[in-house]
Amino acid sequence: MDDRAANHGDNENFVNNDDDELANTARANLLTLMDTFIQQILNIRKTLLGVSISALILAPIAIGLSVYLIRHPSFFAILEIENEFGTVLSVLLGSVIVISCVWLYAGIKQYRKIGSWSSRYNDYLNEKREINRKISSQFGLE
């Protein structure tokens, strides 16, 4: 009987060890998955940064060109001579100005968000390195 009880206890320890190993593997996989997800977001951030910078450059150029065309002396002459074309041109230039203003606003807003996300991501990486260093030094895993 004593041998059976001892073997039964060993089986429980074996099962508990397997459960612990599975839990540790699941945690490691989850951390790896989270790191991969964060890395993908970092790549997307680079694309969004490019879009933001293009908005900050191209939108003011479009607004400036549209304002220049509207303020040009011959613009009103074209409106008077060409009825239909003048109306379409006015609507298009107005649309360019409105859309460019919205694009510029969105670009500035996105650029600020990307900058704050970048600093928070760097804080996360520094904290992660520090925790990994502490764990490694505590358990001698250098």
pLDDT digits (tens, 9 = 90+) for 30-57: 778 887 887 888 788 888 888 888 888 9
Predicted TM-score (pTM) of this structure:
0.58
Give 91 or 39, the one with higher predicted confidence. 91
Give 87 or 68, the one with higher predicted confidence. 68
With b for 16 or more beta-carbon neighbours within 10 A and e for fewer, the 12-41 pattern comes to: eeeeeeeeeeeeeeeeeeeeeeeeeeeeee
Please report the pLDDT score of residue 24 as a whole number. 66
Find out whether 79 and 35 touch, Cβ atoms under 8 Å.
no
Give 141 or 62, the one with higher predicted confidence. 62
Separation of alpha carbons 35 and 92, rounded Å: 46
In this predicted structure, which of 12-16, 91-95, 113-117 has the lowest mean pLDDT? 12-16
